[in-house]
Structure 1
Amino acid sequence: MFLYEHLPKTHEWPAVERKTRSKMGYDYIKFSNGVELRAVAEGADQLRQYTASVVYCTEMAFWDFAQATWNSLRPTIEGGGRIFIDSSANPGFFCQLVTGQLNEDEPEEEQEAHDVIEGVHEYRRNGVYVARIHYTADPSKRSEEWKTNEKKGTTTEGWEREYEINWTVSAEPKYYPEFDYNRHVALEELHPIEGRPLLLSFDYGLTPATIIAQTTAKGQLLILSELQSWDCGMLAHGRAVQAELQTFYSGYEYTAVGDPAGNQRAQSDEKTANEILRDRYGIIVEPGELTQTGRSEAVRYYLTTLTPDGKPLLQLDPRCQMLIEAFTGGYHRKVVAGRTLDEPEKNEYSHLMDCLAYLCAKLYRDNTSMSDKWKQMTRGRMHRAGCM
């Protein structure tokens, strides 16, 4: 209504025939030419009851169910409608939509990229036309003086997210604030070390995920690859994992750990996810740590501990974009009624982060068990030596 009331008076606009208002503002407006504007809450199923010709989604990067909503909106395009989305930067599905790949059939690079004016970059990706608008598109905002004045009173993360379109900075409270991009992300691509076994970690469900990793002789955990599947079962995901291993890690031995729920039987064929991996692909999966506390503390141990030569104990390949986005804010604490909880928000990053947590917990448990065993053996020898 604000926009309508401020339209130029030089043109004859359709009259407002009906409008309804709620506490949040106007939620329905009908014009004399038959056009209706209707406010709809975010969510995957909110629009299924309507047949919209135009859908406008605002600040989609901050939606809890952005991916599910996008999938439900696709029929709108097929029927000849349009979808408009705007948002400032934030890790999540919207970031993947405009900067990454939604499926393996999409090209990795931008399509038809061009710059119309300074500060505006336009291209196509994932079947979407994207316009990236930086504040420098406004000539009055290109001076260092303007930038210095505007940065006063803002946090570094807030400026990077809202002004510099930095997708790695989240507005949500990070679940692992111990993560440091400059320390925990390798400067170049990581390669497997010959002669050392691989470590696989699995998360199940209809969004199965897998991490392929390796440890060095000094105990550093190298995350070599991430595999995230959408809307498929373990049978299809297992094929992707098998292809990845045969293509890039042929000849390497491996051990695997996974979600403890992998031993629960499916209602369709009464086979567990672990049984599918074992019988179809020869992958034997050890159940991982059950508690969230045990898993998260293991990840924090690897984030905050150094190797004997002073290197971070956890190192990510720079190609593991979803894990990096998760660490930089995509995987964050749940906020309910303004209160930040200790548990993480379940979202599209949860599956890969659970994989990492199972892996870290297994390694931490194994290392602790070996350390305790060594201490007991050494203590006994020292005691006997003392008696002599």
Structure 2
Amino acid sequence: MRTKVAIIGAGPSGLLLGQLLHTFGVDNIILERQTPDYVLGRIRAGLLEEGTVSLLDQVGAGARLHQEGLVHHGVELAFGGARHRIDMHAATGKTVTIYGQTEVTLDLMNARKAAGLTSVYSASDVKPHDFDTDHPRVTYVKDGVSHEIACDFIAGCDGFHGVSRASVPASAITSYERVYPFGWLGILSETPPVSPELIYNNHERGFALCTMRSSHRSRYYVQCPLDDHVDQWSDDRFWDELKRRLDQKAADELVTGPSIEKSIAPLRSFVAEPMRFGRMFLAGDASHIVPPTGAKGLNLAASDVHYLSQALREYYDEKSSAGLDGYSARALARVWKAVRFSWWMTSMLHKFPDEGEFAARIQIAELDYLVSSKAASTSLSENYVGLPF
């Protein structure tokens, strides 16, 4: 087989890149080691910046999002037993949309299928080769048969644990990482959200987040030790702990119910530089991870894909490699700003086990400044709704 761009990974970044390239007339094939059902079974983020929504619209995958997504104009910060609303729309003119990553992935899968584009699922032993030459290729095994795809470029959209970044010589890549000393215990329940907008809670017992997937499905998180296990947390224990960390009004109005899904996710900040290696490009989690506090993971993947698709369009339509040559620096400039914002939000809202009362008082002072200063709340809003692509 031959194609112009071989995309490794059929998560939202790989699927969105494939659709964008298709709209530009650039042939592509997607390889995914898992089944479609497995990919759709991943429970992930659900907050989209306007830029991400615009890209989904551009590839014809935004109709259901606009029907079912929840548009939010602000967020609430809770500390000291009280809630304070940040009006992001008033500060920036922008909004965010709550729409699950699973739904984004399904919409992109359906768009790709409708366009008759090639996606190979359950592809094992996927490996990129010769990306430091003018003739890169990708090999894989499907149903016990070996296959090879010759291509012009390879896009590594296969996540933090994927083969793309792992195939780069260690001497050619530099990694930066901060692992946080706690995780998020998350629960999904078929219950109405406790508030129409997200509530970020700073509490002496630890951070908590109240969010949602729809008007009838809620997603809640509580900070927990890294060595905790899901089996230690019954539904009753989770709801009791969440209520302890909420303001009284939210605790009184919280509707509880059986969990649909429950998991513990560690938090880390990670960036691998550069994002280009010859004719292979990394995008999304393959190159960077941010803690979910700032809701930037999926949105960063979308901006990477925007830059990369534009660069590839320019290469084929205008015979210019300028966009490809500048891709890594351009993407990383936005990545590091999002890494900074996510680190700041995490540092301000969580209880750190090795820090004492001084740090806790600094957090409260920071939060109080945020909700009382127009300049500070505008800065938060600009980053939260998403910096320009």
| Superposed pair shares fold, TM > 0.5 | no
In terms of fraction of residues, the more helix-rich structure is 2
Which one scores higher on RCO, CA 8 angstroms, separation ≥ 6?
2
Question: Is the radius of gyration larger for structure 1 or structure 2?
Answer: 1
- Tell me the TM-score normalized by structure 1: 0.25
In terms of fraction of residues, the more strand-rich structure is 2
